[in-house]
Chain A
Amino acid sequence: MQSSLGFPILTWIVFLPIIGMLLVLLVPLGKDERSREVSHIIMRWITVVITFIQLVLAVVIYLNYNKSLPGVNDVSTFQFVERVTWINANFPIIGQIKIEYFLGIDGLSVPMVLLTAIVCFVAVFPSFIIEKGVKGYFAMYLLLDTGMMGVFVALDFFLFYVFWELMLLPMYFLIGIWGGPRKEYAAIKFFIYTLVGSVFMLLVMIGLYYSVGSFSILDMMNPNNYKPDSIFAGMHTTIRYIAFMALFIGFAIKVPSVPFHTWLPDAHVEAPTPISVILAGILLKMGTYGMIRIAFPIFPDAVGYFQSLIAWVGMISIIYGALCALGQHKVGQRDFKKLIAYSSVSHMGYVVLGLASMRPEGISGAIFQMFNHGTITSMLFMIVGVIYDRAHTRGLDEFGGLANKMPVYTGIMMVAFFAAIGLPGLSGFISEAMVFLGAFNTYPYLTIASGLGIILGAAYMLWTLQKVFFGKLPDRWNKPWDPTGKKFPSDDLIAREYVALVPLALIIIYLGIYPNPMLSLMNTSVNYFVEFMKPFVLIGNFLSGM
């Protein structure tokens, strides 16, 4: 089905940032301070405009998206599909290797596309603080944008892989160049972890190609396409289980699920604020998205076989992440950002749990949670960024009583915090509740155990609230942040921080009160997905003897 719009909107939304990157690179750097300052401003606003157009495109997609079509494994019901042969080369024995430029979206990817557009847009404003190497920064930023957007719309495994790896380079430099003291370490760590995950994905991908004779993810989902006596032929074979595990771990590293999560705290602590925002807001989602788009539907039998394992991973991530976050008050550098990072581990655990439930509520909840966590955590990191920009420290113990100094800031912060601890009326609650309702059907005890995560979550969040915002303001912060008043006219938020934070807050509240707009997007696809998975999963469960 061709795009219902006149033009290839997905190509535009993916490659628009590349154009922006070229524009940014073309901006000449002035010689003296003044002109350099001017060119910096130009680059910033180029980025703002580009990401804004991208956001508009995303909204156009949202408005024209037909909620009644499932997608998942049925190409005819994907939307805005663009499919042209990209590479068509002959090779001995293998014969023709056909790689397609195959884009399309369904209910599983639309929320992610929206999320990417939103977060990429709001994250530009914290980037204004960057002073060094501005040109390189925004070039990398936009390249990263393309990579992420591409991952969410690619339906050809090869293409997916290309986009997946494409992010590594900008991310490495963004953390490495503009990061904190231990940036080198954090950057290389991020790089290695992700690469380890993806190289095995590469092998599985090649194996799948031989078995199916096409790189189209959709073809790989159909058991009938598998050539007899090809490597992944048949169901419930050991090699399929191994391949699934390879994929799953590859994605779990990105999520990150315990025990593959250790890159996250470092990356977050060292990365500059906007990059933390993107990292937590979008990159982590690519892991879970990869699971639901690739690993699960291609190896549904293995999903059934390992279902409880996956659920366990989710549960452990929830509890363990929350405990580590709580522990940040006691050990380590007592770093505000690190605490948020661990909370991400915990919250992404809900997603994994929801996916493991293989129930419509659970999976809708999981995807919704991906979206909500994207918005909420982006807010949290920007909130950390706000005080860091002013006080140049993130120590939990070094603050207190900010509520008096920055009332509006505190107000907005409370929205994010309460959303993060799943307060009803804010979007976080609904997704978590749905995940629980779904997971309870499949794994009552695991779900109840995960419930502890709610309490722990409340504990560390309120603790932070108390330490940082309540109590007495230390004398060292009594004077205004910026005596010159040039950078920070007021002690409270400044304009561009409002622009970044308020929209997210509104989204969180709106979806908290009326989630249907988001849920109805994914609804059809999710049900279709579950129905499609069910038979295999059941057999898998049977084989794994649960």
Chain B
Amino acid sequence: MIEFGNLVANLQNSLSFFLPELVLVFTLLLLIVTDLIFRKIRFINGYISLLGFVLAGIVLFIQPKNLFGFLNSFVYDDFSFFFKIIILLTNVLIVLMSFESKELMEKGRNLGEFYTFLVGMTFGMFLVSGATNLILIYLAIETMSISSYILAGYTKEIRRASEASLKYVIFGAVSSGLMIYGISLLYGLTGSLNLVEIRDFLATNKIDTLPFFISSLLILAGFAYKISAVPFHFWTPDVYEGAPITITAYLSVASKAAGFAVLLRFLKLGLSSPTEALGSLWTMVGNIDWSFILAILATLTMTLGNIVALWQNNLKRLLAYSSIAHAGYILMGVAVLNDNGTASVLVYFFMYLLMNIGAFICVMLVADKINSEDIKDFEGLGYRSPLIAAVFSILLFSLIGLPPTAGFIAKFYVFAAVIEADLIWLAVVGVINSVISLYYYVKIMRNMFIRGLDENKGSIPISGLNQVIVIILAFLTILFGVYFSPIINWANASANILIWK
């Protein structure tokens, strides 16, 4: 029984590293107000939210690090810092993207709530990336999910959007249901909801495997749904296709990031023993071969993503499957179950952020002009809009993972981690998959450059701002392909997940 005094004290010094979240909350409230006041001025909310994100970012840097708080149910460490930065970067790009998105900028649509929910979702993700208590994890995931349900269906007069949101909400509800059920079981087994306590309990006491396995797998189901890993990927293609492209991009990066953050933290804090002797090597508690299970999941995920992507003709859908595949690659890094893998996951996410958002932006810019997301209609793009086509193909090469692009570095470090852990077979599966992925990525390039050169459809105008954005993204993709030490070092520094003694 904690009595009230120290509770308050705890709360106070916890708030000292809860500032970014608070910033986001205030931004959110502010947005509601401004939305009520300036209905006419469309962009103001966008700029306010941008401001909020930037502010949150600044606060992230200045506030103290590596602390537990809120009765050890929340932590702020290098690990969550990395993910929060990624999430914020994604947000900024998404907001910029939203300014250009035709479907959002339609007449008479009020964008106030859009940004409000964006901020709300961000808040949820921040919590997710820091939560160390199963209940908090559950709440945080629900916070981001519920906002995302709404965002997915934000363009509500469009049928496919509303369909997407329905599917999303039902599937999400189910998997969160599974998750909470699993949590309840785990609570029953270990008598605690705090990851650290759970681990200690598992480390000391002997519990029979089956219920423990079932419960933890049910919890993993919740995460798997966030990172759209097999078999909880089914919602991904439909929702990605249906949702506004901005949101698709957002889901494909940010919420995946949050999902992986919590997954890793769960594994490290909840299921691996705290022995510092081994340093960055994890020793899992409970007699279950998590590494193998995760490797299987990774294999299934990337293979499925790739072989189904071969068949897609709708670019959004294709990218959806490709994002599933990438989740698979990242899972390889998780399956290694040591800081090495964690670091490789971080690296991957940073590179993935650049190339995937970039790809979505390219698709959006073109699709809005030609009113189609069909690959066929991208034929001859190389001549109608050389710049976009060039940038797009750079990003695609990065997604394939060919040097000298960021994508190669990302894959390189994942494979490095995997081989280091002697999971050679997994590495082989990985490279074979990246060969398969070549087919469909190249298919896009083929349509842009090799096909449809003859019929002259006239060029596609692209506004200056967009040109700058995509060029920057492409440039970064190349830059981090040839000079990547800073990213690696940063990931290395952020790789160790804070353990509470």
User: Which residues of A pack against B, CB within 8 Å?
Assistant: 86-94, 97, 132, 161-162, 165-166, 168-169, 172-173, 176-177, 183-184, 187-188, 191-192, 195-196, 199-200, 202-203, 206-207, 209-210, 231
User: Within residues 312 to 347 of chain B, which ones have a CB less than 8 A from any CB in chain A?
Assistant: 338-340, 342-343
B407-433 interface code vs A (CB 8 A; 1 in, 0 out): 010001101100110101001100110
Say whether A161 contacts B403, CB under 8 Å: yes
Rounded to whole Å, the gap between the CB of B429 and the closest CB of chain A is: 11
Residues of chain B within 8 A (CB-CB) of A162 are 403-404, 408, 482
User: Within residues 327 to 382 of chain B, which ones have a CB less than 8 A from any CB in chain A?
Assistant: 338-340, 342-343
Q: How distant is the Cα of A20 from the Cα of B239 in the complex, in angstroms?
A: 46
Say whether B403 contacts A172, CB under 8 Å: no
Residues of chain B within 8 A (CB-CB) of A173 are 449
Rounded to whole Å, the gap between the CB of B411 and the closest CB of chain A is: 8
In the complex, identify which listed stretch (B177-185, B203-211, B483-491) lies at the interface while the others stay far away. Answer: B483-491
Rounded to whole Å, the gap between the CB of A158 and the closest CB of chain B is: 9
Known contacts A188-B442, A202-B412, A93 near B434 by CB under 8 Å: no
Say whether A206 contacts B419, CB under 8 Å: yes
Rounded to whole Å, the gap between the CB of A91 and the closest CB of chain B is: 5
Say whether A90 contacts B419, CB under 8 Å: no
The answer to the question of B495 belonging to the interface, with a C-beta cut-off of 8 Å to chain A, is: yes
Q: How distant is the Cα of A5 from the Cα of B432 in the complex, in angstroms?
A: 45
Chain B binding site: helix, strand, loop or mixed by DSSP? helix
Residues of chain B within 8 A (CB-CB) of A195 are 402, 435, 438
Say whether A203 contacts B340, CB under 8 Å: no
Which bucket holds chain B's interface residue count? 35 or more
The answer to the question of B384 belonging to the interface, with a C-beta cut-off of 8 Å to chain A, is: no
Say whether A93 contacts B450, CB under 8 Å: no
8 A-B pairs within 8 Å (CB atoms) are namely A88-B485, A91-B488, A162-B404, A165-B403, A165-B408, A166-B403, A184-B450, A203-B428
Q: How distant is the Cα of A183 from the Cα of B449 in the complex, in angstroms?
A: 12
- How many contacts A-B (CB < 8 Å)? 109
Say whether B449 contacts A168, CB under 8 Å: no
B371-407 interface code vs A (CB 8 A; 1 in, 0 out): 0000000000000000000000000010000111000
Rounded to whole Å, the gap between the CB of A62 and the closest CB of chain B is: 29
Residues of chain A within 8 A (CB-CB) of B495 are 92
Say whether A176 contacts B450, CB under 8 Å: yes
The answer to the question of B280 belonging to the interface, with a C-beta cut-off of 8 Å to chain A, is: yes
List 16 other contacts, CB 8 Å, given A202-B412, A206-B416. A86-B483, A89-B485, A90-B489, A91-B340, A93-B340, A169-B397, A169-B402, A176-B446, A176-B449, A176-B450, A177-B449, A192-B438, A195-B402, A195-B435, A200-B431, A202-B415
User: Which residues of B pack against A, CB within 8 Å?
Assistant: 280-281, 338-340, 342-343, 397, 402-404, 408, 412-413, 415-416, 419-420, 422, 424, 427-428, 431-432, 434-435, 438-439, 442, 445-446, 449-451, 453, 482-485, 488-489, 491-492, 495-496
Identify A206's interface contact among B397, B415, B438, B442, CB under 8 A: B415
Known contacts A90-B492, A176-B446, A187-B450, A199 near B435 by CB under 8 Å: yes
Residues of chain B within 8 A (CB-CB) of A97 are 416, 488
Identify A203's interface contact among B427, B445, B484, CB under 8 A: B427
Residues of chain A within 8 A (CB-CB) of B492 are 89-92
Q: Which of B419, B445, B491 is packed against the most chain A CB atoms within 10 Å?
A: B419
Say whether A93 contacts B280, CB under 8 Å: yes
Q: Which 3 A-B pairs have the closest CB atoms?
A: A89-B488, A92-B339, A199-B431
Identify B485's interface contact among A87, A191, A200, A203, CB under 8 A: A87
Known contacts A166-B404, A195-B435, A94 near B420 by CB under 8 Å: yes
